[in-house]
Chain A
């Protein structure tokens, strides 16, 4: 069974840092691009970041560029999102998402994790 399990969410103060992880199983991790997508409370979906199969190409939404960093460890089938300089508006459920393809710009999100909640508040 294809599965994505996020962890690392929590409460953090504005300006703080947090690292999210996503453990992948049930598919050939090295064959697919991966994404982070977030959803603020009561709001719609927002693309955060994408990474290709070997981690050599990454992409970020303007809202997080320079503050967030996506990476993957193919040997551990794990996707990560390092978040720094966090703002109140970063408060959201963060979903780890598998692409149907090897490159992130073929934007088909075919498997979603259950999400991990990040709350930025003082």
Chain B
């Protein structure tokens, strides 16, 4: 079974804090993705990575950065958290970026 894990299920941070969200997959997938999901807006792609140290901006990269130092691990960084970054964050991986993606359980981040 493909497994995608995320470091936290729930996280509460203060405005201005630096936030790290980690994602690990065990299927040797080249491609990894970070989405945020908000009511009425669906899933929106923040960043994706198609190889170690390679990344591409998605639809809403502003205020976020990513790091992929190892194939199995993809981190999302909020340099200075703001209240409008309160959301559900989902990580996914896939063998091909346009095929079936396997999702992690999500991290619900609240920024106060």
A complexed with B: no
Residues of A within 8 A of B (CB): none
